[in-house]
Chain A
Amino acid sequence: MKRLLTLLLVIAGLAVALVALNLRGEASIPGTAIAPLTAALPPTPGQIARGNYLALLGDCRACHSTQGGTPYAGGRGVDTPFGTVYAPNLTPDDKTGIGSWTSAHFWRALHNGRSRDGHLLYPAFPYPNYTHVTRQDSDAIYAYLRSLAPVSQPNRPNTLRFPYDSQFSLAVWRALYFSPGQHVPDPARSGEWNRGAYLVQGLGHCNACHSSRNLLGATRGAMDLGGGLIPVQNWYAPSLSAAHEAGVADWDTQQVVELLRKGVSPQASTLGPMAEVVFRSTQYFSDDDLHAVAIYLKALPPARARPKALGSDAAQAASARLFDQGAKIYEKQCASCHGDQGQGAAGAYPALAGNRALQMNSSVNLVRVVVEGGFAPATAANPRPYGMPPFATALNDEEIAAVVTFMRRSWGNGASPVSPLEVSRSRGPTIQ
């Protein structure tokens, strides 16, 4: 009897702790039980315009719209290792959108990860980042969304597997990995650095991709930009703090600004998911904000250089054969644009010699680019980008392994060989 009582007490204690941890930092929302509050003051045009800009900084539209669908009407699925989470309708429709939400509900979603009706939200909605957003900015985004035409488009239910589909599991996850945050300016740093920190850690949610995730999908916190494989999408978001990946400590600030505004720069090009981020979000950042982001990224504490993985002895032996085969393929398929010495062509085709993106330990991006080709984003500053053809049907896995191995080990490049098996694993889920 005593044992049973103890057990019950422990369970009750854990339950109380779970609820408390999930509700920490929340202020009660007055009036929710009665009727939605109307905004005390109507939003000003300036506030709406600011909200539009902030929504671009947060790239909200990328998930909260389907491709070709009405902006912010929701419906895009975010694939995760646990199933698919569908972004909801953010237009002010009473039944299907956020028509019945107050700015306090919106703030609670952004800051605490809870919906209008109180249910817990999945962190595919990056509230572990958005929790750093100020109430003022949250209200501006809310005002902007309220200014849109309401669209009646019911939300798609998530398709998550058991046990990830239960609020209980989510509550446990949140108790372990989420706590509401607040951006606290560092007085020892410049205003620009602080603004950059606010953007990168908050609305920019850069670490949602540029950080590794644990088995339960949690990142190491908004400060970590050490790089990681994007789950399901299978692109590697390189480390923003490592000089041998995508660190920018030794770039000019203006070069960072150019890359994020234009999508290409003499130092680097964006393709894949980052091209989409530039296309939909960073090209719209103001000069000051891009500058602040650059200052912050440049000042990231440098990651220790990781030892280069050069592959097993067997891989090294196989690489000589792949290298020779790859040299021939490169000459026929690649050299006309990228140059016979991998020198590239300024403004059009990236140099491959000395290119960090080719020499990372993870070869997945390189393989994806060869398989799928791609265009740099068509930004206002570079509206007519040059494109690379997909080689998905022209080259088989072995040939891609060969040409990729050749590029990783030529013209002064030094990286591990890539096997046909790795190529096969790196191909996208739908492109075979």
Chain B
Amino acid sequence: METHLTALPNMPPVDKRGESPFFHYRLGAPGIEQRGPGFREFATTAGAAAKTEPPAFGVWRLQRAKLRRVTVWFAALAVCLDGSCALAAPVEDSIAQRAQACVGCHGKEGRAAADGYYPRIAGKPAGYLYNQLLNFRDGRRPYALMTTLLQPLTDDYLHEIASHFSSLELPYPPPQPVGSGHPASLAHGKALVTQGDAARHIPACTQCHGKALTGVAPAIPGLLGLPPDYLNAQLGAWQTGGRHAQAPDCMAQVAKLLSPDDVSALTQWLSTQPLPASTQPAASLPSALPIRCGGVPAGSTGDKP
């Protein structure tokens, strides 16, 4: 982790405020999504990004030469009230540029890596992303930074933003190293993900999230390439009622059947899995959903639920 930080000389020193929530996530404390990650998670996310790609805020400048050829530019005089006017920088008129607010946390082009806190959004099913944007804006998923940011935006615009990130087909970085996970725990995690636990009425993750776990269009997200801290936080939030989806809230029902050991085993296993060759969400479910989900449109066609 420290090496990541040194790889990014412009990042400021680790702030102690990051310590406490960081270890909460590690322990899979439930319902902590509201607290948000500390600085440390961001530093590690950005640090990892620096190894594979330039940091998020450099994207506009780095792509400028390329974009200049293909996009509409307009230059205009900035209105300077003090009279010292300079020529305004030209701005690319694209949804990618308009949605730069998202990549600060979710990584360049929305492809945050699995070693921070914020989830990757690039390539996720459009219906899923759209549902989450609505959930944040309308208070079903409380996370102050997202809720505040989305407050003055319309359904149509959120749908456009969701479709944009969904349409990005970008390579995934390698998964988390297997690390210190106990082999028995990893095996338990794998069993839960691929087979579920019939005795406890827990469906396998693959039954809904696709055999390859890359999600199912239009509304079920993939589970690979995500930070374990993020996965733990989500399952914890579902268990405690901190995160909701449209009713009936199938994921809340499943999460409440999981013990803390189950949660940590399956999130560990998920975060160490490499992505398959095709990272696209499956076009359809392998079989009917084991339980009803309000966020998944009946028939699962089209991308706007």
A residues adjacent to B (C-beta < 8 A):
66-68, 263, 266-267, 275-276, 278-279, 332-333, 336-337, 339, 341, 343-349, 351, 353-356, 372-378, 383-396, 399, 411-412, 428, 430-432
**Chain B residues, Cβ within 8 Å of A341:** 86
Q: B102 contacts the other chain (Cβ, under 8 Å)?
A: yes
Size of the chain B interface, CB-CB below 8 angstroms: 61
**Chain B residues, Cβ within 8 Å of A412:** 82, 84
Given A68-B140, A375-B149, A430-B144, A345 contacting B38 (CB threshold 8 A): no
- From B78, B145, B153, contact of A343 by CB (8 A): B78
Alpha-carbon distance between A387 and B41 when the two chains are bound, in angstroms: 23
Cβ contact within 8 Å between B81 and A373:
no
Given contacts A279-B151, A386-B97, list 16 more A-B pairs with CB under 8 A. Answer: A68-B138, A267-B79, A332-B10, A337-B60, A339-B78, A343-B88, A346-B76, A346-B79, A354-B80, A384-B157, A385-B157, A387-B100, A389-B57, A390-B148, A394-B42, A396-B12
Cβ contact within 8 Å between B81 and A333:
no
CB under 8 Å from chain A, chain B span 107-138:
134, 137-138
CB distance from B45 to the nearest CB of A (A): 9
**Chain B residues, Cβ within 8 Å of A430:** 34, 144
Given A336-B60, A394-B42, A394-B104, A373 contacting B149 (CB threshold 8 A): yes
**Closest 5 A-B residue pairs measured CB to CB?**
A68-B138, A389-B104, A387-B101, A346-B76, A377-B152
Instruction: Name A331's closest neighbour in chain B (CB-CB).
Output: B10
CB distance from A219 to the nearest CB of B (A): 25
Given A353-B80, A393-B38, A346 contacting B12 (CB threshold 8 A): no
Q: B294 contacts the other chain (Cβ, under 8 Å)?
A: no
How many residue pairs link A and B with beta carbons under 8 A? The number is 175
Identify 16 residue pairs between A and B in the complex whose beta-carbon atoms are under 8 Å apart, listed by A's number: A263-B152, A275-B151, A276-B151, A279-B151, A337-B89, A343-B86, A343-B88, A345-B76, A346-B74, A346-B78, A347-B74, A347-B91, A373-B145, A385-B152, A387-B149, A430-B144
Instruction: Name A263's closest neighbour in chain B (CB-CB).
Output: B152
CB distance from A252 to the nearest CB of B (A): 12
Cβ contact within 8 Å between A336 and B82:
no
Cβ contact within 8 Å between B81 and A343:
no
The listed residue with most A CB atoms (<10 A of its CB), out of B80, B138, B149, is B80
**Chain A residues, Cβ within 8 Å of B2:** none
Cβ contact within 8 Å between B39 and A396:
yes
Cβ contact within 8 Å between A378 and B78:
no
Cβ contact within 8 Å between A339 and B152:
no
Q: B154 contacts the other chain (Cβ, under 8 Å)?
A: yes
Cβ contact within 8 Å between A345 and B104:
no
Instruction: Name A272's closest neighbour in chain B (CB-CB).
Output: B148
Cβ contact within 8 Å between A353 and B84:
yes
Alpha-carbon distance between A389 and B46 when the two chains are bound, in angstroms: 14
Cβ contact within 8 Å between B100 and A386:
yes
Alpha-carbon distance between A332 and B95 when the two chains are bound, in angstroms: 22
Q: B276 contacts the other chain (Cβ, under 8 Å)?
A: no
Given A276-B151, A336-B60, A383-B154, A354 contacting B84 (CB threshold 8 A): yes
Cβ contact within 8 Å between A344 and B149:
no
Cβ contact within 8 Å between B79 and A351:
yes
Q: B37 contacts the other chain (Cβ, under 8 Å)?
A: yes
Alpha-carbon distance between A378 and B133 when the two chains are bound, in angstroms: 15
**Chain A residues, Cβ within 8 Å of B74:** 346-347
**Chain A residues, Cβ within 8 Å of B17:** 396, 432
Chain B 174-198 against A: per-residue CB contact (8 Å), 1 yes, 0 no? 0000000000000000000000000
Alpha-carbon distance between A411 and B57 when the two chains are bound, in angstroms: 23
**Chain A residues, Cβ within 8 Å of B76:** 345-347
